Amino acid sequence: MKIGRFLALAALVAAPASAAPRTETAVLAGGCFWGMESVFEHVKGVKDVVSGYAGGDGKDASYDAVSSESTAHAEAVKITYDPSQVSYAQLLQIYFTVAHDPTQVNRQGPDVGSSYRSAIFPQSGEQAAFAKAFIARLNASHIYKAPIATRIESGGFFPAEAYHQDFARKHPFYPYIVVNDRPKVTALQKKFPAYYKA
């Protein structure tokens, strides 16, 4: 038996039979969480997307409180993904390119207020460093006519009420979804066909 085949066989035998795929999480805010959730649900390698509130306290993490703009929360999504299929860098590329407009300050489209701000909530020091460098590269490239408004913040994530989860999928003809969010999914399919899943 050749040494290469022997080493390959030894590695196979040594591997745990029921090793689960590794997953990581990313928390991103970019306007109404319905659209953000809708975009990232269509990304290959993404296992789950939860709409919620990030950057504030758990005691007032509710739609009514956050919508009053009296809390520190941003509408956000928590993305669970398989890094062997899609990287954090690729998620940020989609985030900055099709999921929202990173140059808008405290708003996205028709939604105005700090809860609709553009913000990244890193889940590790590595993510924080990467996001900071990513934003610096975007600003230096002058791809956008205005500076990147995206902030890097800390804070917990709190899932939104059940009726917000999978809203675009459950209500595909809701006028807000048709006008504001469906075009983002179409843009994902056109600009990143290799990452798109139906």
E strands along 43-193, which residues? 46-54, 74-81, 107-108, 111-112, 118-121, 151-152, 157-159
Q: Is 39 a catalytic residue?
A: no
Contacts of 105 (CB under 8 A, 6+ apart): 117, 149
Q: Report d(CA 180, CA 176) in Å as an integer.
A: 6
In the set 29, 32, 54, 77, the catalytic residue is 32
Q: Active-site residue numbers?
A: 32
